[in-house]
Amino acid sequence: MSTVDLRNNVAIVTGAGRGIGRAIAQRLAKSGASVVAVARTLSQITETCSLIKANGGTAIPIAADVTQEADVSRLVEQTIAAFGRVDVLVNNAGVAPLMRIEQTSTDDFDTVIATNVRAVFLCCRAVWAPMAKAGSGAIVNISSVGAFDPFPGFAAYGAAKAFVNTYTKALAAEGAERNIRVYAVAPGAVETTMLRGAFPDFPTDKVLAPDDVAALVEALLAPACQHSCGQTVIIQK
């Protein structure tokens, strides 16, 4: 059941085509938000929006590469054109290739940084002005427990998510005077195609459902959490 009233709110969710992002988009829509589902693959976010609409929610798909400044600017412009505002941003898009340093090409490294770091910066910056103008807003950045305990093969990914945690804390301080709240959520293992692609035999009893993460994101948007912004909240089994 929904625990937060997000009616009259507009929420952008990146990486919303599957997994955690789809679950977050569905959760926020059930709470009453008009959802903008974002990913590079239009067919995936179209499916996400269809699922939301089938349950009585409001959602539109916008295909965009959130590592690209022009795409991110267009995304926010189209969101405001469609709904008149943006109240919530969830930076969920990410990549987590499992490869040790000797296997990691410069292109591999650049992709990890672009998707997990640059995209967070671009999206946060793009929504900052409309949120500041409105006098309120909330941003939730999806991090990872790998930021605290990266294991072999996830060096670049863990470091990128550590950036997300520090950036979250810094932006929360900047946003305080404008009533813009910023949080990070750091999941452990979540049952997604990304997890199974890297760890096909990971124990099922140690894995979260995508909706477990979505429920936490939703909870952070409640007024009761307004004095906890800047924190990175860990969720894992």
Query: What amino acid positions are annotated as catalytic residues?
Result: 157
Amino acid, single-letter form, for residue 81: A
Q: Where are the alpha helices (DSSP H) in the chain?
A: 19-30, 42-54, 69-83, 106-113, 119-134, 155-175, 193-198, 210-220
Please give the order of strands across the beta sheet that includes 232-235.
58-63, 34-39, 10-14, 88-91, 137-142, 180-187, 232-235
Alpha-carbon distances, residue 39 vs 117, 119, 173, 207 (angstroms): 16, 12, 29, 24
DSSP assignment of 165-180: HHHHHHHHHHHGGGTE
170-178 contacts: CB < 8 A, separation 24 or more? 171/124, 171/139, 172/229, 172/230, 173/230, 175/128, 175/131, 175/137, 175/139, 175/229, 176/229, 178/131, 178/132, 178/135, 178/137
Tokens (6 digits) for 208: 């979260």
* Rounded Cα gap, residues 45 and 39, in angstroms: 6
